[in-house]
Amino acid sequence: MTGSAKVVTGEQRHEFTAGDLVFLKPEIEHYLVNDNDEDFAYYAIWWDRAMSDEFVAHEIDRAESHD
């Protein structure tokens, strides 16, 4: 991650910079704003319960097919 930006949720704006971690509860509407002169890059991970269950089931099937 490089640079800095703001994550906006409703009327609130929260600044974050390289190295910060942002957690949003499911269903929270949000967007990012880079109103700086420097580039901004970030890494996002989105993972919910259904995705987790699907991933685990897939890995179990894959492991059993190699037996």
- Residue 52: phi and psi, rounded to 5, are -65, -45
What pLDDT was estimated at residue 39? 93
Identify the pLDDT of residue 52: 83
For residues 34, 25, 45, 5, the Cα torsion angle rounded to the nearest 10 degrees is 10
Q: From CA 40, how far away is CA 24, in angstroms rounded?
A: 19
pLDDT per residue, tens digit, the chain (67 aa), is 899 999 999 999 999 998 898 988 888 899 999 999 999 999 888 778 888 888 889 989 989 987 6
**Residue 67: what pLDDT?**
66
CB-based burial, 5-32: b 16+ in 10 Å, e otherwise: bbbeeeeeeeebeeeeeeeeeeeeeeee
In the chain, domain spans: 4-65
Q: What is the pTM of this model?
A: 0.64
